[in-house]
Amino acid sequence: MILIAHRGISCQRPENTFASFDYALKLGIPYIELDLHLSSDGVPVVMHDETVDRTTNGSGPISDFTKDELMQLDAGSWFMSEDGKQFSSETVPVFEDLLRKYSGQAHIFAEIKSKDPDLIPLVQNLIDKYGWLNTSQNRFGHVPGISIISFDRDQLLRSKKLMPDLGHGLLSETCSEEIIDFCKINGLQGIFPYIHAITPELRALITRKGLYTGAWGIQNKQDVNRARDMELDGITLDCPQEFS
């Protein structure tokens, strides 16, 4: 079971920043989850929320900002690590810069957050430009590599159509036969439900369908043990280094 750094090492560094992703690699954790939105001038950028308010010194929807305006925001001062480190120099990462920086070093689980259909071909162009398509034939577990995940079924199917060689996984708050069948019928290779929505019976069904099984929402050692007992393939954690 692989341990995936959720927005990087987000328990000790500001989430979805280079500081957070760099720290994951420094700790020997090459599996990185991040979130993608689209700037007003059509540039894929890394941030979780639809607005910049929570994690920067700005205010308003991401889609109202150009790439340059986003990169001028302070994306780190809001966070203070336990060891007293400060991160005022952190900016909003541009997806292209991230692909360039971590080429050959990581497997990126890229979550499509924006519902804008224009995001998908832009992401595809960048993944192709920096050679990540050529490294991702082994779907979710290969380093280097990249896979696409999302709660948004329409966006996921758009991405699957454009990038059929990449692993694609459906994020879900629940887990059911309908969700499992949706993934199988549409050629999605993985399913990523909330950890407490997966039962041993559903896990067995997912295995029979031949799907990669991840999980999110892991909060403690008991959750990690639950995932290990069900032999899940991968889980996202804010502090994966504590359970490696």
pLDDT in tens, 131-174: 998 765 667 888 999 999 999 999 999 999 999 999 999 999 99
Please tell me whether the overall predicted TM-score, pTM, comes out greater than 0.85 for this model. Answer: yes
What pLDDT is stored for residue 141 in this prediction? 81
Looking at residue 88, its pLDDT comes to: 87
Average pLDDT over residues 25-39: 98
Look-up of token digits 């079924």: 153
**Residue that wins the pLDDT comparison between 80 and 217:** 217
Reference 152, options 168, 140, 138, 165; nearest CA is: 168
Which pLDDT value is given to residue 80?
83
pLDDT band at 82 (very low <50, low <70, confident <90, very high): confident
pLDDT for the residue 26: 98
| pLDDT range class, residue 110, cuts 50, 70, 90 | very high
- The answer on pLDDT for 218 being more than 80 is yes
- To the nearest whole number, what is the mean pLDDT of the chain? 95
Q: 3-state DSSP: the chain helix, strand, coil percent, rounded to 5?
A: 35, 20, 45
Q: Is the pLDDT of residue 78 over 70?
A: yes
Q: How confident is the model at residue 204 (pLDDT cuts 50, 70, 90)?
A: very high
What's the whole-number mean pLDDT along residues 26-55?
A: 98
Q: What is the pLDDT of residue 135?
A: 67
Instruction: Provide mean pLDDT across the span 112-124.
Output: 97
- pLDDT score for 115: 96
The CATH number given to 2-242 is 3.20.20.190
Q: 172: closest CA among 187, 183, 159, 161? A: 183
Q: For residue 32, what is the enclosing H or E element?
A: strand 31-38
Q: pLDDT above 70 covers what percent of the chain?
A: 98
pLDDT at 90 over 70: yes
**From residue 176, how far is each of 108, 168, 196, 203 by CA, in Å?**
26, 18, 12, 10
pLDDT in tens, 177-186: 999 999 999 9
Could you give the C-alpha distances from 82 to 12, 188, 209, in angstroms and in order? Answer: 7, 39, 43
